[in-house]
Amino acid sequence: MLHTIRQIVNDDEKWRGILRGLNETYWHKTVSGAELRDYISRQAGVDLSRVFEQYLETTKVPVLEYRLTGKALSYRWANVVKGFAMPIRVVLPGANANSYTLLTPTEAWSTITLPTAGAGTPLRVDPNFYVDVRVAP
């Protein structure tokens, strides 16, 4: 979960500052999980409440579902808590294998148009994110 949040922050210097700041701020103190979650969200500048809820309060692994129809790529989150909208890096079908694109799926279907038809090439999720991926029926 922490490594996934590190990917969301997408700034290693900021991430190290958050971890060091936790130590400095809460040194020898008893704190609640809510205080830690709030601190990390505040320092990251991103509302991570649904990410924490997903990974800490459920056993469900988020599933990025997608459909590919010609140049149209549709995608959404499944198996997630209500309101989950975590950004994720992917290699789009038909794209260079090292060319990541940031998508921000929600529980509702979103669609983008690919520059070229990606038939035969699956969507590939950055392995630094703890999620599953599947082609939607």
What residue ranges define each of the domains in the chain, with the CATH number in brackets? 2-57 (no CATH), 63-135 (2.60.40)
Per-residue pLDDT of the chain (137 residues; tens, 9 = 90+): 999 999 999 999 999 999 999 999 999 999 999 999 999 999 999 999 999 999 999 999 999 999 998 889 999 999 999 999 999 999 998 888 788 999 999 999 999 998 876 666 789 999 999 999 999 98
**What's the pLDDT at 89?**
96
Dig out the tokens for 33 from the structure. Answer: 């999980």
User: Rg of the chain over CA atoms, in angstroms?
Assistant: 17
Residue 71 and residue 132 in contact, taking contact as beta carbons nearer than 8 Å: no
**What's the pLDDT at 93?**
87
**What's the pLDDT at 102?**
96
Q: Which of 110, 55, 119 is nearest to 84 (CA)?
A: 55
**What's the pLDDT at 12?**
96
Say if pTM beats, i.e. exceeds, 0.75. Answer: yes
For residue 61, what is the DSSP state?
P
**What's the pLDDT at 94?**
80
